[in-house]
A and B are shown apart, each in its own frame.
Chain A
């Protein structure tokens, strides 16, 4: 099993739709979780950290389920500008580095 797996996508949704991405991780000792977005031929940019209690930033909501070892990202009222690849990132604490998922591509269509 890969360390971090994501919905393969691509997701093609109309503007205004709600879309959810899932990510699973294999190491139950993982401590930190993040979502990044990456535009085509650009660097990844931090979208949001994921906290145990779940957190929201505008139209974006992130959830963590430690028991099932998955995190999710919900995007409400999708905009054309949300089109990108979304990377799930997991970090073990001491002695380990970030592990990036392969990404889920989202296309928001007019």
Chain B
């Protein structure tokens, strides 16, 4: 979606390494979300934030961490504690509750 930028598009993680995925938006949306999608599977919620300096765990938060220091930015760190990080990571924003979410074009993470 225009206005949501995820980087990098492809990322490789070495054993024991932490990596950070970037998500930036210029839509002025309050809420931001991180999802994980495994091949042939649905989206699973990792973390979400509905306001700056506040965030909540989703269904599969273990091994991940986030921060929300600015409205525009919601980076996701995949820590070494996440033993199976290979997946497609999607960031989404939402203007208000009950409104649709809009997605960035994703980051593919693989293990070296």
Chain A: residues with CB nearer than 8 A to chain B?
A: 31-32, 34, 41-46, 49, 87, 89, 91, 93-94, 97-98, 100-103
Chain B residue at minimal CB-CB distance from A100? B43
Q: Which residue of A lies closest to B101 (CB)?
A: A98
Measured between beta carbons, the chain A residues less than 8 angstroms from B58 are 97
Q: Which 5 A-B pairs have the closest CB atoms?
A: A43-B103, A102-B42, A100-B43, A32-B98, A46-B100
| Pairs A–B under 8 Å by Cβ, sample size 27 | A31-B98, A32-B99, A41-B88, A42-B106, A43-B1, A43-B90, A43-B103, A43-B104, A43-B105, A43-B106, A44-B43, A44-B103, A46-B100, A46-B101, A87-B42, A87-B43, A89-B100, A91-B98, A94-B97, A97-B33, A97-B45, A97-B48, A98-B33, A100-B35, A100-B43, A101-B42, A103-B42
Known contacts: A43-B106, A101-B42. The answer to whether A49 contacts B100 by CB under 8 A is: yes
Cβ-based interface call for B41 (8 A): yes
Residues of B near A34 (CB, < 8 A) are 100
Closest CB-CB distance, A8 to chain B, in whole Å? 11
Q: Does B29 contact A (CB under 8 A)?
A: no
In the complex, what residue of chain A is closest to B105 when comparing beta carbons? A43
Chain B residues closer than 8 Å to A101, beta-carbon distance: 42
With an 8 A cutoff between CB atoms, is B68 at the interface? no
* Those of B5-58 within 8 Å (CB) of chain A: 33, 35, 41-43, 45, 48, 58
CB pair A42 B105 closer than 8 Å: yes
**How far is the CB of B101 from the nearest CB of chain A, in Å?**
6
| Least distance between A25 CB and chain B CB atoms (Å) | 14
